[in-house]
Structure 1
Amino acid sequence: MTEISYPFAETSEGGGTDLVTQLQWQNMGRMWGGDRIDFRLLSETYPAGSLPFAVSVTNGRTIHVQPGAAWVGGFYYQLTASTTVDVEPNPTDRGRRDTLVLRADMGRGSVNLAVVKGQPAASPIAPQPQRRPGDIWEMVLYEITVPERDGTVQPSLRMSFDMPPAVSTVWNTRATAAFLPVGTLSYDLDNNGGDTQYEAFNGRDGYAITRHFGKSRTYGPRLVNAANVPGSGMNYRGRWRWIAPNVVYFSASIENTSTRNITNTGGSTAIGITLPHQANGVTGQVITGKLRNPEVNGQLPNLIGLWGYCWRGSGSTHLGLYMQSKNALADGLDTVRSLPGKSEIIVSGTYETNIFNE
């Protein structure tokens, strides 16, 4: 039979079987989830010895292992009482790296703790776990530093833990996240209200959209600290998207299609452009852009490099715009004080927002 499927209530002529072999069970079990410790990390910190399979060392080479449970190569394992394992001596003049693993041995029909011995070397490397379906499958719990001349061994944690499963919602994703475990990824698969589908993370710092899927969102950028802005003859274009928690990519364009030269509100005040989200103000942030002035109006060149600056402080909702002094290179940057007629400001970049109110 070239087609096999399982498990069904009874064997069928189409290749379906009602019982599974040990290997067939492992093939199914490995598809249910990767190797992991059956423990979810929900607290900010964990005291030493409080995690499953916590260890301590006595007599230089004896490792005491506390109870725990894990999923290994498609099989569930429980250590219900503390036990010990011994690390082989290392009388050589070079160090060694061993591993403490959970080993699913299909030949023995069980999962057990084991120490896998590495090779002494000037720069020792721990052995990689074996992962052979139907034979040996290992999950590393600790990497063990084994010093030369039988020094005291030092285990270092290498466990991977269980995490809450991701969920999807159609509405009220943020409100729903408040009832989910810390560490849950949520997916808003609706686009109600014109929003884009997105992924969000409910972490210890709070709720944060981690990334937008599909098309970018639009927004209407506006000029800040600008006088005599015409009511018509202006084109405002903006796009943005979450690309990581608390991080936005955006691009914005403000085009003055009129012949009026827009000026600042006075003195050396910098004309600015609004952002799609308030910027984090812990350090201050810089975005680059350009001013396109094809008709060379307002006594400015036809193309000017711009630097947009979010000032350090409580967090800015706009970029203040700066340009190289038109008088002399040695004069450094000047504030942008006008947007000439028939010109356009374009800025784009990535910046950290302030959704955590820092």
Structure 2
Amino acid sequence: MAEISYPFAETNESGGSQMVSQVQWQAMASMWGGDRVDFTLASESYSGSVLPFASRVINGRAVEVKPGRAWVGGFYYQLTAAATVTIEANPTDKARKDTIVLRADVVKGSVNLAAVKGQPSASPIAPQPQRNAGQVWEMVLYEVDVPAKDGAISPVSRMPFKMPPAISTPWNTRASGTFQQVGTFLYDLDNNGGDTQYEAFNGRDGYVITRHFGKSRPYTPSLVNAKSVPSSGLTLTGRWRWVAPNVVYFSVNINNTTTKPIENTGGTTALGFKLPQTANGDTGQIFTGFLRNPNYNSGLPNFMDIQGYCFKGNGAQHVTMYVPNVASLKEGLDTLRVIPAKSEIAFSGMYEANIFG
């Protein structure tokens, strides 16, 4: 029959089947999730000796594997007492990499520990696990360094673990995150439409938004160190979004459509603009923008590079602007002290924020 479905209470003429073969079970169970150790990594740190399937080398050539549980190729496996796997000797003059795997053998009808021998080589590579549905399916627990001339073997963990399931909330995601396990991803669905949909992570360093979904967010990049800001004719437009944990993308447009320049508060004080999120101040951060000044007002060129800088310190809330000396390139950069009439400034880029302080 062309249409087959299972498992149902009774086998029927419509293709429904009551019984499920091992191969059918594996095909069905593979939809539930990938291979992994049945242990949730929900603490800030672990000692390898307390994790499932912890190992130690005994008698030089054997690896003892402690109890644990796992999901392998669609089948559940439990090791209820310590078991030993022997690593074959390597008398050659070249090193080897072996693996210790959990092997689901559908034909045999069981999951068992096994050692898989690699090839001696000047640059040894561990053998890849077999993944053949309906036959043999392997999940690697350890990669074993097998030195030349029967040197001391060394198993290194390669186990994939279960993590806390991701959750979603209609709102109040940050507050909800305080009750979730370390390692949990959270999704703010913003069902009340008052904010932005985003993904967050509750990790060892604390709660952090990892990225915004949908549209970027508006903000006003207000001017810093400006003596007189016109009540009309000045447009301050900004957009921003989280693009990675503690990383912001932003764009800014400062458009002075008036016939008067916007000057600094005096002396060599530099004009600047506010950022959407405080910038990390561990190293100081550099930004690039430009000035469009078609009428050559205030003695500045029609197009001009602007360098922005966030100073080192506890974190910077604004970008300080610098421009090339208009009289001589030898003079380097000067503080930007005026935004000419009928001119426009634009900045865009990414920077590290200061969420973790």
Query: With structure 1 as the length reference, what TM-score do the two structures score?
Result: 0.98
* Displacement after TM superposition at 1:191 (Å): 5.2
1:200-255 CA deviation, whole Å, 9 max, x = no partner? Answer: 11111111111011111111111100112111101111100100111100001010
* Displacement after TM superposition at 1:136 (Å): 0.3
Instruction: Indicate whether 1:5 and 2:5 are aligned.
Output: yes
Counterpart position of 1:61: 61
Distance in 1 (CA, whole Å) between partners of 2:106 and 2:197 is 44
CA contact (8 A) 2:251 2:349 kept: yes
Distance in 2 (CA, whole Å) between partners of 1:272 and 1:107 is 71
Within 5 Å, give how 1:285-324 maps onto structure 2. Answer: 285-324=285-324
CA contact (8 A) 1:97 1:143 kept: yes
Calculate the aligned-residue CA RMSD, in Å.
1.0
Which letter maps to 2:59?
A: N
Counterpart position of 1:327: 327
Which letter maps to 2:57?
A: V
* Displacement after TM superposition at 1:190 (Å): 2.1
CA contact (8 A) 1:222 1:254 kept: no
Counterpart position of 1:196: 196
Which letter maps to 1:78?
A: Q
Counterpart position of 1:23: 23
Which letter maps to 1:285?
A: Q
Counterpart position of 2:222: 222
Structure 1 stretch displaced more, 182-191 or 285-294:
182-191
* Displacement after TM superposition at 1:193 (Å): 5.0
User: Can you give the 5+ residue segments of structure 1 that lack an aligned partner in the other structure?
Assistant: none
Instruction: Indicate whether 1:164 and 2:156 are aligned.
Output: no
Counterpart position of 1:236: 236
Within 5 Å, give how 1:136-285 maps onto structure 2. Answer: 136-190=136-190, 192-285=192-285
Query: With structure 2 as the length reference, what TM-score do the two structures score?
Result: 0.98
Distance in 2 (CA, whole Å) between partners of 1:232 and 1:287 is 27
1:14-33 CA deviation, whole Å, 9 max, x = no partner? Answer: 21111111111111111101
Structure 1 stretch displaced more, 183-192 or 74-83:
183-192
* Displacement after TM superposition at 1:91 (Å): 1.1
For the residue of structure 2 that corresponds to 1:69, the secondary structure is strand
1:87-131 CA deviation, whole Å, 9 max, x = no partner? Answer: 011111111110000000111111110000011111111100000
* Structure 1 consecutive aligned stretches of length 4 or more whose deviation exceeds 6 Å: none
Distance in 1 (CA, whole Å) between partners of 2:85 and 2:356 is 46
Distance in 2 (CA, whole Å) between partners of 1:181 and 1:134 is 36
For the residue of structure 2 that corresponds to 1:102, the secondary structure is strand
Counterpart position of 2:71: 71
* Displacement after TM superposition at 1:167 (Å): 1.1
* Displacement after TM superposition at 1:179 (Å): 1.2
CA contact (8 A) 2:41 2:164 kept: no
